Structure 1
Amino acid sequence: MAERRILNSWKEIASYLGRGVRTVQRWETQLGLPVHRPAGRDHSAVLAFSNELDQWLDSRPVRRSLSSAAESASIASTQAVEMQALLRRAEILLEKLELMLSRNEEMHRKLLLTVNAQANDPIQQDLRGSETLGAARGEAA
């Protein structure tokens, strides 16, 4: 049977468990770490018995490294699938943007041709000339 030691402070308990004081205090409140408070003493005064701590540690469920490795692989696989889906959506959006850009450039080219054709059209020039003449007559009157 292991020797029973009495641990008289949070620091001693933490040292025995190989953890920090705050972690050990959190284990007491959240996980039921067996810590005793002497009657009539300040709330911060604590003691623990090494054999009780050992029993508590032995009774805790242990995380299996294989299980967590499998979970990590599953998460990584899921993330890879999600990344591939995002990449595909980005490629589709890029294709649509390129198509819209080429359509925009084509419309701009057609508009320039139309404007240039109207600027060089003698009928349009005559119409603009008569509008200018009418405006000048209106100002003169």
Structure 2
Amino acid sequence: MIICPNCHHENAAGSTFCGECGQRLPETSAQSGAASQVTEKTTTQSSDQPQSSPSRQSREAIPAKKRPSGLKWVVLVVVLVIVLGGGALVYRGMFSKQQQVAKITQALVDGDKATLAKSLVSDDPNLKINETTVAPLATYVKEHSSYA
């Protein structure tokens, strides 16, 4: 067993890289001897024999690339900014001053007292705005359509 100096994961003997974090593992005396035997074998092969593809063990020894842990936070922040920005644009389009004035004007023209009562506000805390209190305004606008 070889213990990774980075993450302390137990790896099989003869491993070159940690199976958990990809850290290069320190060589043991058995590994260095095996490495020299592999080097001797490859140098003694005749040049007329075709070269074989890399062995499975050497392909597995290459550590897998890991995403940086901060990448998920960057993606999360970008998505959050896009969602909030889109929400702000929709809110601005639906509840801008122009949209509010258009809604009140349409309620006046239609004589819709309920919508008019919900749309109007006042600085005076004693003034109660409801369908009854906006009725005179709705009546006036019906009689004088140019006012709207």
Output the TM-score relative to the length of structure 2.
0.33
More helix per residue: 1
Q: Name the TM-score, length of structure 1 as normaliser.
A: 0.35
